[in-house]
Amino acid sequence: MLIITRRNGEKIALGDDITIQVLDIAGNTVRIGIDAPRSLPVYREEIWAAVKQENEAAAKADATQVRRPPARV
């Protein structure tokens, strides 16, 4: 992992198309601005990781498990 220290207001450039800026620091919270191409998804990492986990779990299903439920449902 590349580790960079920034002060409030400073930026990081990722390649030519992405810029990350520290906008505000208050206690334990950092407000971060991200300038990136519109097509690039940007996620809170814990959400990305949880969705990845659900996708992988869904992809484990075999055909016999996924069947029409009983008529009463």
Partner 1 sequence: MQTTTTTKFESTRFGPIEIQPESVIEFPNGLIGLSGSSYALVAREADSPFIWLHSLEDPALALPITNPWRFFSDYEVVLSDAEAARIGVSNPREADVYVTVRAAAELDEFCANLRAPILVSGGRGHQVINEAELAPIRAPLFDASELAA
Q: Footprint of partner 1 on this chain (CB under 8 A)?
A: 38-43, 47-63, 65-70, 72-73
Task: Give the DSSP letter string of 1-62.
Answer: -------TT-EEEETTTEEEEEEEEETTEEEEEEE--TTS----HHHHHHHHHHHHHHTT--
Minimum distance from residue 17 beta carbon to partner 1 (Å): 14
**Of the two residues 7 and 38, which places its CB atom closer to partner 1 in the complex?**
38
Give the length of the chain: 73
Minimum distance from residue 36 beta carbon to partner 1 (Å): 9
Minimum distance from residue 29 beta carbon to partner 1 (Å): 19
